[in-house]
Every structure is written in structure tokens, then in C-alpha cells.
Amino acid sequence: MSITTTTHLNFRGDARAALEFYQSVFGGEVAIATYGDFGMPAGVPGAENVVFGQVETAEGFRVMAYDIPGQSDGSAASAGSTRRENGTTVTDQPFFVSVRGETLHEVEGYWAGLSVGASIVEPLAASAWSPGFGMLTDSFGVTWILDVAAAYSAE
């Protein structure tokens, strides 16, 4: 038996744009179904919004998203603030999306894509636990942690 988890992001009208952006960064296939696809009349506000959306790559990246019904202000529902203060990450967000790559080169590519229009919380750089670690909040209000996998002992 195996189990996987998938981050599901909740937006207020811009899930489609976010999914297309994430596809441009990570590649893979995007699948989108709208409320209209599931029977909402085309003339009703929100019928074009995403009821189910996903980006998935052959390498294992997967993120899902939808637009909260009745919401259309164009921001992530979980948007909050994340900043560095006195060497510590301070946040009021309930989650971060973490992407871990095998090489610094791989992570640098994802960083370059996600950082367009982003607010950098912690620049991508070597850290005590990884050859590369960084944190940013993208233009959709989602905070991402990117790092390079490093061997370590749990002891």
C-alpha cells in the first residue's frame, strides 16, 4: 500500500492563472474544470472559475487548486504575511509549499521561475542543512520553500 499527499491551494478567482504559472515553472500537464463544466449556467458569475485544477509532472510534482465559490478578488485565500525578522522567519500563514530537488541546479531553475513577481523572504543560498535553501511568496500569495535534499542523520 502507498499513499501520497498533494497540496491543494484555494484561490479567489485566479486559480487558472496560478496553475498556468506553476506549469510554466515545473512543466507537466495542467487539467482544469470550471463550475460551468459541471453545470453552472454560463451567464452566472463565477461559471468560468476553477472547480478542479491540477498540475502534475512525470517527476512527481503535483499541486491542485480551485476558486472558492463566490470569491473573486484575485488572491490566495490563505494569503498572509511572511517576512524575515532578526534572522527568524515570522509568518501568520497556516502552511508553506515545500519543493525539494536533488541538485542545486534543479532547484535554481524552479527558483528562477517562481521568483518572477515574488517577494523574497530568504534568498536561495547554502544553509547549515542544505546546499541550497530559499523562501519566497509568489505573486499569487503562496509561500514556497525550495531546498536541495541533503543526507542527514535523524539521530
Within a domain: 21: yes
Q: How far is CA 30 from CA 97, 137, 144, in A?
A: 18, 22, 19
pLDDT along the chain (155 residues), means of 10: 80 95 97 90 90 94 90 60 66 78 94 96 90 94 90 56
d(CA 17, CA 127): 32
Give residue 7's region: left, alpha or beta (phi > 0; psi -120 to 50): beta
Query: For residue 90, what pLDDT is reported?
Result: 63
**149-153 long-range contacts, CB within 8 A, separation 24+:** 149/100, 149/101, 149/102
Task: Say what the pLDDT of residue 13 is.
Answer: 93
In the three-class reduction of DSSP (H, G, I as helix; E, B as strand; rest coil), residue 2 is classed as coil
Residues 35 and 88 in one domain: no
Total number of domains in the chain: 2
Instruction: Give the residue numbers spanning the domain of 103.
Output: 82-148
pLDDT at 128: 79
CATH number of the domain within which 59 lies: 3.30.720
Any idea what the CATH number is for the domain that residue 89 is in? 3.30.720.110
Check residue 152 and give its pLDDT: 57
**Which helix H or strand E contains 25, and what residues bound it?**
helix 15-26
The verdict on residue 1 lying in a domain is no
* Shared domain check, 141 and 86: yes
